[in-house]
Structure 1
Amino acid sequence: MSDSLDDRIIAALREDARLSSTALARRLGVSRATVHNRMARLERDGVITGYTVTLGEAYRAGQVAAHVLVEVEQRLTAQVTGQLGRISAVQALYAISGDYDLIVVLSAPSTGALSQLLDRISELRGVLRTKSSVILETKLQR
């Protein structure tokens, strides 16, 4: 269970995951040992599962991104999810409710490459249908 300090640590790391324990402690007005211990607990408890790179607009501008809705044959959901997870262009994968079962977030270097990825996904065993939307502009990303 997290508390206010945990939430402040998480918020600061979401802004800059490269902050050292010392810099984080200074920013939050607590000791470095407190920050270190809290972060270790947050990691151990699975609250923080990793630290990642956020790609800048300059890099993303050269990429074509899309959301793909995927309807899956129910008994093959685990197999389809595993196959999608092995595609490096898949940036995120969400299980959803409604007419479709999954949302796949893709990133590709060109529309041609994106088209090939969409074909590859639609041909996976267990995929019944897909519906894709190309992302034109990112308005907010945290």
Structure 2
Amino acid sequence: MTTSSSSTSFDKLDLAVLRLVMEQPRAGVREYARLLGVARATVQSRLDRLVKDGVIDGFAPRLSPAAMGYPVLAFVHVDVSQERFAEVPRSLAAIPELIEAHSIAGEGDILCRVVARDNRHLEAVIERMINTPGVVRTRTEVALNARVPHRVLPLVGVLERETGVFSG
């Protein structure tokens, strides 16, 4: 994932492109251009800039771990020995069921998003995490149900309001 270090300014076309990419991800550049009433090259150059600036960080499909046989979702807080902090994330990345990890402020050092086939499998994954050199302790919270799924499109709406651009 690319992170933009500077703030990108958006115009009406940028925001319209972002909205289309989120709402119709499979449509393609030619269809976006048709819907926006601009040249295909214009849309392509906007997409290229948004990718370069880190606003768009990928075009891969979102896969469902649950539909792939991993219905258990847990968040694991990992306390790390500070002298091994740099190597622990690399070691944890070798665990395929660990699908995301962030260093955090607050309780723990790293917050991991982990999936498993069932609770017994989750226990085995957590045991593998605990046995990672440099991991001092873990605390696990099992998710019961997604109340607000991952989303970014509402942020496009905020930017549209802030810039005076309103989509229909």
TM-score, with length taken from structure 2: 0.74
Question: Counterparts of 1:76 and 1:14 in 2: how far apart (Å)?
Answer: 39
Which residue pairs with 2:132 in the alignment?
124
Q: Please state whether the residue corresponding to 1:59 is helix, strand or coil.
A: coil
Q: Please state whether the residue corresponding to 1:124 is helix, strand or coil.
A: coil
The superposition leaves residues 21-53 of structure 1 with CA deviations (integer Å, 9 ceiling, x where unpaired) of 022223334322111111112223333232232
Cα pair distance change 1:29/1:76, threshold 3 Å:
farther
Which of residues 35, 58, 64 is equivalent to 1:50? 58
Shift of 1:71: 1.0
5+ long unaligned stretches in structure 2: 1-7, 152-168
Question: Counterparts of 1:58 and 1:130 in 2: how far apart (Å)?
Answer: 23
CA contact (8 A) 1:72 1:126 kept: yes
Which residue pairs with 1:3 in the alignment?
10
Shift of 1:91: 1.5
CA contact (8 A) 1:68 1:131 kept: yes
Does 2:102 correspond to 1:94?
yes
Please tell me the root mean square deviation across aligned C-alpha atoms, in Å.
2.2
The superposition leaves residues 69-119 of structure 1 with CA deviations (integer Å, 9 ceiling, x where unpaired) of 111112212211111222221111111101211110011122111110000
TM-score, with length taken from structure 1: 0.85
* Length, aligned pairs only: 142
Which of residues 9, 23, 37 is equivalent to 1:15? 23
Does 2:101 correspond to 1:67?
no
Question: Counterparts of 1:61 and 1:138 in 2: how far apart (Å)?
Answer: 17
- Identity rate of aligned residues, in percent? 33
User: Which is helix-richer, 1 or 2?
Assistant: 1
- Runs of 4+ aligned residues of structure 1 deviating over 4 Å after TM superposition are none
Question: Counterparts of 1:108 and 1:14 in 2: how far apart (Å)?
Answer: 28
Shift of 1:63: 1.2
